[in-house]
Amino acid sequence: MLPKLDYSSPRTLGELLELLDRYKDQAKILAGGTDLIVSLREKLEKPKYIIDIKKIPELGKLEYREGEGLTIGATVTFKNILENPVIKDRYSVLWEAVKTIGDMVLRNRATLVGNICTASPAGDSSPALLVLNARVKIVSKEGSREIPLENFFTGVKKTVLKPWEMVKEVLVPEPPKKSFGRYLKMMRVRSEDLSVVGVAGLGYREGGEIKIRLAFSSVAPTPLRVKEAEEAFAKPGPIEEKIERAVQVAVEKVSPISDVRGSAEYRLNLVRVLTRRLLKQLVEVV
Protein backbone atom coordinates (compact mmCIF):
# COMPACT_ATOMS: atom_id res chain seq x y z
CA MET A 1 0.00 0.00 0.00
CA LEU A 2 1.17 3.49 -0.82
CA PRO A 3 1.11 6.06 2.00
CA LYS A 4 -1.38 8.92 1.91
CA LEU A 5 0.06 11.82 -0.07
CA ASP A 6 -0.92 15.21 -1.41
CA TYR A 7 -0.69 15.22 -5.21
CA SER A 8 -0.10 18.16 -7.57
CA SER A 9 0.08 18.22 -11.34
CA PRO A 10 1.37 21.65 -12.47
CA ARG A 11 1.05 22.64 -16.13
CA THR A 12 3.89 25.14 -16.31
CA LEU A 13 7.50 25.14 -15.20
CA GLY A 14 6.83 28.25 -13.12
CA GLU A 15 4.10 26.46 -11.14
CA LEU A 16 6.41 23.50 -10.60
CA LEU A 17 9.24 25.66 -9.27
CA GLU A 18 6.83 27.47 -6.94
CA LEU A 19 5.76 24.12 -5.48
CA LEU A 20 9.35 22.95 -5.04
CA ASP A 21 10.24 26.21 -3.34
CA ARG A 22 7.25 25.86 -1.01
CA TYR A 23 7.60 22.20 -0.05
CA LYS A 24 11.38 21.66 -0.46
CA ASP A 25 12.49 18.30 1.00
CA GLN A 26 8.90 17.31 1.81
CA ALA A 27 8.19 16.85 -1.91
CA LYS A 28 9.22 14.34 -4.55
CA ILE A 29 8.97 14.75 -8.32
CA LEU A 30 7.06 12.13 -10.30
CA ALA A 31 8.00 11.63 -13.96
CA GLY A 32 8.19 7.96 -14.95
CA GLY A 33 7.87 6.80 -11.36
CA THR A 34 9.70 3.51 -11.95
CA ASP A 35 12.01 4.11 -8.98
CA LEU A 36 9.84 6.43 -6.88
CA ILE A 37 6.77 4.18 -6.68
CA VAL A 38 8.90 1.25 -5.50
CA SER A 39 10.54 3.45 -2.85
CA LEU A 40 7.15 4.66 -1.65
CA ARG A 41 5.77 1.13 -1.36
CA GLU A 42 8.82 -0.02 0.58
CA LYS A 43 8.72 3.15 2.71
CA LEU A 44 12.24 4.09 1.70
CA GLU A 45 10.90 7.52 0.75
CA LYS A 46 8.33 9.31 2.92
CA PRO A 47 7.41 12.59 1.25
CA LYS A 48 4.23 14.49 2.06
CA TYR A 49 3.78 15.83 -1.46
CA ILE A 50 4.09 14.31 -4.93
CA ILE A 51 4.55 16.71 -7.85
CA ASP A 52 3.69 15.11 -11.20
CA ILE A 53 5.58 16.91 -13.99
CA LYS A 54 4.29 15.02 -17.03
CA LYS A 55 1.85 17.75 -18.11
CA ILE A 56 4.53 20.43 -18.56
CA PRO A 57 5.17 20.60 -22.34
CA GLU A 58 8.68 22.07 -22.31
CA LEU A 59 9.99 19.19 -20.17
CA GLY A 60 9.25 16.79 -23.03
CA LYS A 61 11.78 18.46 -25.32
CA LEU A 62 13.93 16.06 -27.36
CA GLU A 63 15.80 18.12 -29.91
CA TYR A 64 18.99 17.84 -31.93
CA ARG A 65 20.68 20.85 -33.51
CA GLU A 66 23.57 20.13 -35.83
CA GLY A 67 26.78 21.65 -34.54
CA GLU A 68 25.27 22.29 -31.12
CA GLY A 69 24.06 18.94 -29.86
CA LEU A 70 21.18 17.18 -28.19
CA THR A 71 18.70 18.38 -25.56
CA ILE A 72 16.83 15.76 -23.52
CA GLY A 73 14.05 17.09 -21.29
CA ALA A 74 13.03 15.78 -17.88
CA THR A 75 10.01 13.79 -19.11
CA VAL A 76 11.66 12.22 -22.19
CA THR A 77 11.38 8.45 -21.83
CA PHE A 78 13.82 5.75 -22.84
CA LYS A 79 11.31 4.72 -25.50
CA ASN A 80 11.49 8.22 -26.99
CA ILE A 81 15.28 7.95 -27.12
CA LEU A 82 15.31 4.52 -28.73
CA GLU A 83 12.87 5.67 -31.41
CA ASN A 84 14.99 8.70 -32.33
CA PRO A 85 17.11 7.98 -35.45
CA VAL A 86 19.55 10.83 -34.78
CA ILE A 87 20.45 9.39 -31.37
CA LYS A 88 20.94 5.92 -32.85
CA ASP A 89 23.17 7.34 -35.59
CA ARG A 90 25.17 10.09 -33.85
CA TYR A 91 24.97 9.07 -30.17
CA SER A 92 25.23 5.30 -30.54
CA VAL A 93 26.81 4.76 -27.12
CA LEU A 94 23.78 6.34 -25.44
CA TRP A 95 21.34 4.43 -27.66
CA GLU A 96 23.07 1.13 -26.83
CA ALA A 97 23.09 1.85 -23.09
CA VAL A 98 19.40 2.76 -23.01
CA LYS A 99 18.53 -0.40 -24.92
CA THR A 100 19.95 -2.50 -22.07
CA ILE A 101 17.79 -0.88 -19.39
CA GLY A 102 14.90 -2.94 -18.04
CA ASP A 103 12.28 -4.24 -20.45
CA MET A 104 9.88 -2.66 -22.94
CA VAL A 105 7.27 -1.89 -20.27
CA LEU A 106 9.76 -0.06 -18.07
CA ARG A 107 11.30 1.85 -20.99
CA ASN A 108 7.84 3.12 -21.95
CA ARG A 109 7.69 5.03 -18.66
CA ALA A 110 11.20 5.51 -17.28
CA THR A 111 12.97 8.78 -18.09
CA LEU A 112 16.63 9.50 -18.73
CA VAL A 113 16.66 12.42 -16.30
CA GLY A 114 15.02 10.29 -13.64
CA ASN A 115 17.68 7.63 -14.20
CA ILE A 116 20.56 10.01 -13.54
CA CYS A 117 18.77 11.72 -10.62
CA THR A 118 18.39 8.33 -8.91
CA ALA A 119 22.21 8.36 -8.97
CA SER A 120 22.57 4.60 -8.73
CA PRO A 121 26.16 3.39 -9.16
CA ALA A 122 24.65 0.76 -11.50
CA GLY A 123 22.87 3.27 -13.73
CA ASP A 124 23.40 2.43 -17.40
CA SER A 125 22.70 5.80 -19.01
CA SER A 126 25.24 7.68 -16.88
CA PRO A 127 28.49 6.13 -18.25
CA ALA A 128 27.28 6.76 -21.80
CA LEU A 129 26.48 10.38 -20.98
CA LEU A 130 29.84 10.79 -19.23
CA VAL A 131 31.84 9.82 -22.33
CA LEU A 132 29.66 12.20 -24.35
CA ASN A 133 30.63 15.09 -22.01
CA ALA A 134 27.00 15.70 -21.08
CA ARG A 135 25.91 18.56 -18.84
CA VAL A 136 22.81 18.94 -16.67
CA LYS A 137 20.70 22.08 -16.54
CA ILE A 138 19.41 22.59 -13.01
CA VAL A 139 16.59 25.05 -12.35
CA SER A 140 14.83 26.52 -9.33
CA LYS A 141 12.80 29.59 -8.45
CA GLU A 142 16.13 31.34 -7.87
CA GLY A 143 17.41 30.75 -11.41
CA SER A 144 19.38 28.12 -13.32
CA ARG A 145 22.85 26.62 -13.54
CA GLU A 146 24.64 24.11 -15.74
CA ILE A 147 27.23 21.64 -14.52
CA PRO A 148 29.11 18.73 -16.12
CA LEU A 149 27.46 15.41 -15.37
CA GLU A 150 30.69 14.15 -13.79
CA ASN A 151 30.23 16.81 -11.07
CA PHE A 152 26.57 15.92 -10.51
CA PHE A 153 27.01 12.72 -8.49
CA THR A 154 28.27 12.98 -4.91
CA GLY A 155 27.75 9.43 -3.58
CA VAL A 156 25.51 6.39 -3.67
CA LYS A 157 22.11 7.76 -4.73
CA LYS A 158 23.26 11.29 -3.89
CA THR A 159 23.61 14.34 -6.13
CA VAL A 160 24.32 18.06 -5.87
CA LEU A 161 20.59 18.87 -6.20
CA LYS A 162 19.08 21.03 -3.49
CA PRO A 163 15.54 20.13 -2.30
CA TRP A 164 14.07 23.11 -4.20
CA GLU A 165 15.90 22.32 -7.44
CA MET A 166 15.26 19.97 -10.35
CA VAL A 167 17.06 18.86 -13.50
CA LYS A 168 15.18 20.46 -16.37
CA GLU A 169 17.21 18.81 -19.14
CA VAL A 170 20.39 17.05 -20.11
CA LEU A 171 22.57 18.77 -22.71
CA VAL A 172 24.77 16.54 -24.84
CA PRO A 173 27.24 18.31 -27.16
CA GLU A 174 27.92 17.33 -30.74
CA PRO A 175 30.19 14.24 -30.70
CA PRO A 176 33.60 14.44 -32.39
CA LYS A 177 33.43 13.85 -36.15
CA LYS A 178 33.45 10.19 -37.18
CA SER A 179 33.39 9.08 -33.55
CA PHE A 180 32.21 5.60 -32.62
CA GLY A 181 30.66 4.59 -29.30
CA ARG A 182 29.83 1.30 -27.64
CA TYR A 183 28.31 0.18 -24.33
CA LEU A 184 29.08 -3.28 -22.97
CA LYS A 185 27.20 -4.64 -19.99
CA MET A 186 27.53 -7.84 -18.01
CA MET A 187 24.33 -8.96 -16.30
CA ARG A 188 23.08 -12.03 -14.54
CA VAL A 189 20.60 -14.35 -16.29
CA ARG A 190 17.66 -11.96 -16.71
CA SER A 191 17.93 -9.53 -19.59
CA GLU A 192 16.34 -6.69 -17.59
CA ASP A 193 18.79 -7.03 -14.69
CA LEU A 194 21.05 -4.28 -13.37
CA SER A 195 24.64 -4.36 -14.54
CA VAL A 196 27.27 -6.33 -12.67
CA VAL A 197 29.69 -4.11 -14.59
CA GLY A 198 29.00 -1.73 -17.46
CA VAL A 199 31.56 0.10 -19.59
CA ALA A 200 30.95 2.90 -22.08
CA GLY A 201 33.51 4.01 -24.62
CA LEU A 202 33.84 6.65 -27.30
CA GLY A 203 36.62 6.54 -29.88
CA TYR A 204 37.64 9.14 -32.45
CA ARG A 205 40.68 10.62 -34.17
CA GLU A 206 42.20 14.00 -33.48
CA GLY A 207 45.18 15.12 -35.54
CA GLY A 208 45.49 11.58 -36.83
CA GLU A 209 45.80 10.14 -33.30
CA ILE A 210 43.25 7.81 -31.70
CA LYS A 211 41.47 9.33 -28.69
CA ILE A 212 39.38 7.28 -26.26
CA ARG A 213 36.91 8.14 -23.50
CA LEU A 214 35.94 5.51 -20.89
CA ALA A 215 33.31 5.39 -18.14
CA PHE A 216 31.93 2.63 -15.93
CA SER A 217 28.90 1.58 -13.88
CA SER A 218 28.79 -0.70 -10.82
CA VAL A 219 32.47 -0.25 -9.96
CA ALA A 220 32.45 2.73 -7.56
CA PRO A 221 30.05 4.72 -5.33
CA THR A 222 29.09 6.78 -8.40
CA PRO A 223 29.17 6.26 -12.18
CA LEU A 224 32.82 6.79 -12.98
CA ARG A 225 34.79 8.25 -15.87
CA VAL A 226 38.43 7.11 -15.80
CA LYS A 227 40.40 9.85 -17.55
CA GLU A 228 43.71 8.36 -16.42
CA ALA A 229 43.00 5.30 -18.57
CA GLU A 230 42.16 7.54 -21.51
CA GLU A 231 45.59 9.18 -21.22
CA ALA A 232 47.26 5.88 -22.13
CA PHE A 233 46.41 6.63 -25.76
CA ALA A 234 48.31 9.91 -25.66
CA LYS A 235 51.61 8.12 -25.08
CA PRO A 236 53.77 6.68 -27.86
CA GLY A 237 53.85 2.98 -28.61
CA PRO A 238 51.99 0.20 -30.42
CA ILE A 239 48.20 0.26 -30.11
CA GLU A 240 48.21 -3.10 -28.32
CA GLU A 241 50.43 -1.66 -25.58
CA LYS A 242 48.17 1.37 -25.23
CA ILE A 243 45.13 -0.87 -24.81
CA GLU A 244 46.83 -2.97 -22.12
CA ARG A 245 48.05 0.14 -20.33
CA ALA A 246 44.52 1.60 -20.34
CA VAL A 247 43.07 -1.69 -19.05
CA GLN A 248 45.56 -1.81 -16.18
CA VAL A 249 44.90 1.80 -15.19
CA ALA A 250 41.13 1.20 -15.25
CA VAL A 251 41.50 -1.80 -12.93
CA GLU A 252 43.59 0.31 -10.54
CA LYS A 253 41.14 3.23 -10.46
CA VAL A 254 37.86 1.38 -9.82
CA SER A 255 36.71 0.33 -6.34
CA PRO A 256 33.93 -2.29 -6.69
CA ILE A 257 32.12 -3.90 -3.77
CA SER A 258 30.70 -7.36 -3.26
CA ASP A 259 26.91 -7.70 -3.33
CA VAL A 260 24.20 -10.11 -4.49
CA ARG A 261 25.10 -9.52 -8.14
CA GLY A 262 28.80 -10.28 -7.86
CA SER A 263 31.91 -10.18 -5.72
CA ALA A 264 34.47 -7.38 -5.86
CA GLU A 265 37.00 -9.81 -7.33
CA TYR A 266 34.58 -10.87 -10.06
CA ARG A 267 33.84 -7.24 -10.91
CA LEU A 268 37.55 -6.41 -11.16
CA ASN A 269 37.98 -9.24 -13.62
CA LEU A 270 34.99 -8.01 -15.62
CA VAL A 271 36.49 -4.53 -15.75
CA ARG A 272 39.64 -6.07 -17.22
CA VAL A 273 37.80 -8.24 -19.75
CA LEU A 274 35.12 -5.75 -20.86
CA THR A 275 37.50 -2.80 -21.10
CA ARG A 276 39.93 -4.74 -23.28
CA ARG A 277 37.08 -6.00 -25.47
CA LEU A 278 35.58 -2.53 -25.83
CA LEU A 279 38.88 -0.84 -26.63
CA LYS A 280 39.69 -3.36 -29.33
CA GLN A 281 36.29 -2.74 -30.92
CA LEU A 282 36.76 1.03 -30.82
CA VAL A 283 40.25 1.11 -32.33
CA GLU A 284 39.20 -1.22 -35.13
CA VAL A 285 36.52 1.23 -36.24
CA VAL A 286 38.15 4.62 -35.72
Domains assigned to the chain: 6-52 (3.30.43.10), 57-173 (3.30.465.10), 180-285 (3.30.390.50)
How much is the pLDDT for 235? 87
pLDDT band at 189 (very low <50, low <70, confident <90, very high): low
What pLDDT, in 10s, does the model give residues 84-133?
Answer: 999 999 999 999 999 999 888 999 999 999 999 999 999 999 999 999 99
pLDDT band at 1 (very low <50, low <70, confident <90, very high): low
CA dist 143 and 158 (Å) reads 22
How much is the pLDDT for 149? 98
Residue 16 pLDDT more than 80? yes
How much is the pLDDT for 17? 98
User: By the 8 A CB rule, do 183 and 190 touch?
Assistant: no
Contacts of 85 (CB under 8 A, 6+ apart): none
Q: Are strands 49-52 and 6-8 parallel, antiparallel or unpaired?
A: parallel
H helix runs in 44-190, sequence order: 78-82, 85-90, 92-99, 104-109, 112-118, 125-131
Mean pLDDT of 132-159: 98
pLDDT band at 38 (very low <50, low <70, confident <90, very high): confident
Residue 192 pLDDT more than 60? no
Report the run of H or E that residue 185 belongs to, with start and end.
strand 180-186
What pLDDT, in 10s, does the model give residues 250-271?
Answer: 999 999 999 988 999 999 999 9
How much is the pLDDT for 44? 86
CA dist 189 and 92 (Å) reads 25
